[in-house]
Amino acid sequence: MNTVTTKQAIIEVDQGGVSSPKGYQAGGLHCGIRKEKLDLGWLISETPADAFAVYTTNLFQAAPLKVTQESLAAEQKLQALIVNSGIANACTGDRGLQDAEHMRAKMAEKFGLAKHHVAVASTGVIGEFLPMEKVTDGIAAIDSANDSFETAILTTDTKEKKIAVQVEIDGQIVSIGGSAKGSGMINPNMATMLSFITTDAVVQPKALDQQLKQLTKQTFNMITVDGDTSTNDMVLVMANGQAQNQTLDPNHPQWSLFTEALGVVFQFLAKEIARDGEGATKLIEVQVEGTETEADGQKITKAIIGSNLVKTAIHGEDANWGRIITAIGYSGVAINPDQVTVKMGHTTVVEKGLPVAFDETEVKTYLAGDQITIYVKAGTSNMKAFGWGCDLSYEYVRINALYRT
């Protein structure tokens, strides 16, 4: 078990995921959508949980998202989730919608739940129909919990993405778990990305919804791999209240501790998605400070991590700071170029808008690492924004040139 030092407490971190909090079980299996890999994941809460979600901004929204939105609109509670990988069930018309509804109905029937207490998610190739007989048989075959949920939801990902944290609130141990998938078609405002967060905390529903939206804006909406926003993205949070703490809301004395722990989960998963970008060899973190507003800082951050020229320079271990300056300049933020300072790691390469002599060999050695930080000071305020991306490699082209074959 690792520990994360926060401003207020030591938050215990382990390699658990969505099944770590009290009252949740999860698992994964192979139902035959994919040739050999696991392709069906499931999550169950012992009791209905308050639930909220945010979705892709792509206008071609996949059928599973529409079904999940319908479920949440009924009561804003969920008790189960069924996820398939391999086929996205997007751009599949009425049949795709019926298939997503069928998945929800079969999952509800399997566990004796109300249909509107089941969420559905899919990820994979767009424009193909699900083999519903295989999916139906897979749902019927769900048995005891196992550790395969995170594996079953992956597509081109190279590794599982999961985390669990614990904090003490009102003398009770409160747990938060998170599991995600995402490797390609990743862009700020979410993209082929699914992220599921569970907690056993008792949380005021409105406050939980607000935190979901705020943290998504600060984390999942601040990552990019390739600039493409997918059809299936969703971040879903569930709170089943089994920790039996006093209801958490902004008036609770330990509200900030809970939101900080929740933020640890969101940020960890977002960074892991960026780190695991298709063909990626390096995680790029951009930190921008000094802008008038957080939104301005985020615009600059997105411009830098989204620049293919910056991404390829980092891949080539080339300290080409001109590409960073260019991205700042076209970000749309009104900055004073004479105030801009840029660092790669601890090395200043631009100060007050002018180049600074630096040791090329030293910076190249830094850029050879697998985690690169670019710092930008764009003004005099204390405002800060963060974003994450990855380098752009030859392997990315190979993966995506052969995605359907």
Q: Quote the CA–CA distance of 63 and 50 in Å, as a whole number.
A: 22
Active site residue 192: yes
Helix H or strand E encompassing 262: helix 255-275
Q: Which ranges of 280-367 would DSSP assign to H, the alpha helix?
A: 294-305, 308-315, 321-329, 360-367
C-alpha 32/C-alpha 266 separation (Å) is: 31
Question: Which residue in the list 192, 199, 229, 341 is annotated as catalytic?
Answer: 192
Q: How far is CA 140 from CA 27, 29, 67, 106, in A?
A: 13, 11, 20, 8
DSSP 189: T
Cβ neighbourhood burial of 357 (10 Å; 0-12, 13-18, 19+) = exposed
Which tokens in the block code for residue 32? 């035959």
Residue 390 CB partners (closer than 8 Å, separation 6+): 225, 274, 275, 277, 280, 281, 282, 283, 284, 311
Residues forming the active site? 192
